Structure 1
């Protein structure tokens, strides 16, 4: 049986991951409207990954006999005035999600819920990767993105990204 605080935080995380997907779809839409299909592709794939994360949290709770409660997903509230805004907002958001995962891990540790801590280890690694990707995109944009030819090349680079399902599976 899961600790009440831990299970509540895990359930809340489902909504946070779905919001992340919604936010990244908003970013994809912004870039698509600006003619940057590669950036749009990057964020469409990010959205799929975030939905996968939500499903993993849901499955984990269900596998532990917890009745999941889904809440409303908030509307994305980021104002995007130029191409770099979504990149910076993405890094800020990933850092926020990392803090949420750490909060759940801390609660699991206090409850001596080692199984949940082990489950969260994958997400901690994943968040490190997400923050690095967001930082790398900002760095590349700041170095090269102001030049139209270089922006075109970056956009083509992001167009080649393909979706792959998460390596963590729960049955």
Structure 2
């Protein structure tokens, strides 16, 4: 059984992961409206990943015999700037999520919840991948600069991304 502090922190992280999904769906809609379907596709897949992360935490709390308490999710931003600004926001957001996961891992250790720390190892590794993916996207969009042809090539590349199955 999870103690109350760890349970509450996991419930908060569920909310944060679901918020990330909302934020990335909002970014996907923005790119779609800007006629960048590849970027929209990439962000939609990012949203699906984040929603999956929330469900993984949800299921974990239940497996531990603890109560899942779903809290209200704030509405995400809906107005975004050019592609570089958006992918920079993605990287910034992923770095913030990494910090949240690290704090949850730290709390789990302080509370002696070794099982929670074991589960969070997966999220720590996942965040390395998420930050790397966002940094690569940012770097590529930055390199494209004002070159519309390069941006459209990136859009095509981002549109070819396929969803990866979640690892256990």
Structure 1 unaligned regions, length at least 5: none
TM-score normalised over the length of structure 1: 0.95
TM-score normalised over the length of structure 2: 0.96
3-state SS, counterpart of residue 65 of structure 2? coil
Partner of 2:144: 144
RMSD: 1.1
1:145 Cα deviation (Å)? 4.2
1:62-101 pair list within 5 angstroms: 62-77=62-77, 79-101=79-101
Q: Tell me how far apart the structure 1 counterparts of residues 159 and 82 of structure 2 sit (CA, whole Å).
A: 19
1:86 Cα deviation (Å)? 1.1
3-state SS, counterpart of residue 98 of structure 2? helix
Partner of 2:165: 165
Q: Tell me how far apart the structure 1 counterparts of residues 145 and 152 of structure 2 sit (CA, whole Å).
A: 8
1:24 Cα deviation (Å)? 0.1
User: Is contact 2:41–2:158 with CA below 8 Å preserved after alignment?
Assistant: yes
Partner of 2:117: 117
1:15 and 2:15 matched? yes
1:129 Cα deviation (Å)? 0.6
3-state SS, counterpart of residue 151 of structure 1? helix
Query: Could you report, residue by residue, the CA deviation over 1:35-64 in whole angstroms, capped at 9, with x for unpaired residues?
Result: 111100000000000010000000000001
Query: Could you report, residue by residue, the CA deviation over 1:143-164 in whole angstroms, capped at 9, with x for unpaired residues?
Result: 1142111111101110111112
Q: Tell me how far apart the structure 2 counterparts of residues 135 and 35 of structure 1 sit (CA, whole Å).
A: 23
User: Is contact 1:52–1:165 with CA below 8 Å preserved after alignment?
Assistant: no
Query: Could you report, residue by residue, the CA deviation over 1:90-131 in whole angstroms, capped at 9, with x for unpaired residues?
Result: 111101100110011000111121111110000000001111
User: Is contact 1:49–1:165 with CA below 8 Å preserved after alignment?
Assistant: no
User: Is contact 1:29–1:40 with CA below 8 Å preserved after alignment?
Assistant: yes
Partner of 1:108: 108
Partner of 2:33: 33
User: Is contact 2:26–2:77 with CA below 8 Å preserved after alignment?
Assistant: no
